[in-house]
């Protein structure tokens, strides 16, 4: 290992973990599941409810 000043080791430590944190945040942001309901399926469900015989 090269001999670096302690401040440089701290800089490299925070640089490494900052990069890991940013990359993991970007991956999480890009691949989060989307739970969206379309209006067509919602209206179809509502129309089925309206045809129930009470």
Whole-number pLDDT of residue 24:
94
Q: Give 7-28 pLDDT, tens digit per residue.
A: 999 999 999 999 999 999 999 9
Structural domain range at position 45:
6-50
Query: What's the pLDDT tens digit per position in 24-49?
Result: 999 998 887 777 666 655 555 555 55
Q: Can you give the pLDDT at residue 44? A: 56
User: Is 37 among the domain residues?
Assistant: yes
Helix and strand numbers, DSSP H then E, in the chain: 2, 0
Q: Is residue 1 part of a domain?
A: no
Encoded tokens for 54? 């009470």
Residue 12 in any domain: the answer is: yes
Q: What's the confidence (pLDDT) of residue 34?
A: 73
The total number of structural domains that make up the chain: 1
Q: pTM of the entire structure?
A: 0.54
């Amino acid at each position: 290992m090269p001999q670096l000043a302690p401040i440089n080791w701290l800089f490299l430590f925070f640089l490494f973990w900052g990069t890991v944190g940013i990359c993991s945040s970007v991956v999480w942001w890009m691949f989060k599941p989307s739970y969206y309901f379309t209006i067509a399926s919602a209206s179809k469900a509502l129309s089925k409810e309206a045809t129930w015989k009470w």
